[in-house]
A and B are shown apart, each in its own frame.
Chain A
């Protein structure tokens, strides 16, 4: 089991950043990226234990950002965080090596449970 301590949040919504601040007590949030390009840069800089990645973002979207992060670290743990969860996009994300999907809206319980499941998965 690998412990999750340091988390990166890649989402263009300030509301999501605010919720993460409230819900992720006890974790170190290494950064908030507003788009996929910034997400790749922050991942490279901080090498978090876990990255939450939105799909629909300006500049570089989530799918492209996942590819960029996986080039830096093929074992990077990424949780897709999205309002969209259709079969096609879930399959595409799984193919890129995403650990799991968390569909919006999320609450503190589902967020904490997701982190626990990622930890248990190793």
Chain B
């Protein structure tokens, strides 16, 4: 498996956001997958929610999905049909977890079918707040970022970190890196 095969995460992230919210469109930014050493949350940006799902099989690693707090609230309200007051609301946390579950499930389904990796997901963990760095030892991580657009919520979504969702995938060992 090569690093470029992790493109399945890009497709899965875009599909999950658009299928689950219906009214939002997801646009890949930063030319797709970017190789990173860790996931770093910008301390100058607003708070966010990070969901982490581990996977194991013929390779091991974890998927981290990060959504800024205001966008997490908007997405939750759209998906479940209820009003939410703050990003620490249980339903917001569960929604972010479920989005990660859907994205991770779709991506590793594709990887399993292509490479017979027999990958299985672990139950997710969730972190909420601001200014943190998540380092996964012995692993290289690859990141895809999407910009969220919606004609319906044009005023609520402004340019910048508030409307970006990040998926960071870390795999133990290394893959053949491609640019």
A interface residues with partner B (beta carbon < 8 Å) = 12-16, 18-19, 22, 56-58, 82-89, 103-105, 107
Contact = CB atoms under 8 A, between A and B. Distances in A.
Interface in B63-86: 76, 79-82
A86 B55 CA distance: 14
Interface string B103-121: 1111011001100101011
Interface of B: 16, 19-20, 76, 79-82, 90-91, 94-95, 97-98, 101-106, 108-109, 112-113, 116, 118, 120-123
Given A14-B90, A83-B105, A88-B116, 14 more contacts: A13-B94, A18-B81, A18-B82, A19-B79, A22-B81, A56-B123, A83-B102, A83-B103, A83-B104, A84-B109, A84-B112, A89-B112, A104-B98, A107-B19
B79 A15 contact: yes
Nearest to B121: A56
Contacts, number: 70
Nearest to A90: B109
A102 to B, nearest CB: 12
A105 B102 contact: yes
Contacts of A82: 105
A85 B101 CA distance: 12
Nearest to A16: B98
A56 B91 contact: no
A88 B98 contact: no
Nearest to B97: A13
Contacts of A13: 94, 97-98, 101
A15 B105 contact: no
Contact of B91 (A14, A84, A86, A89): A14
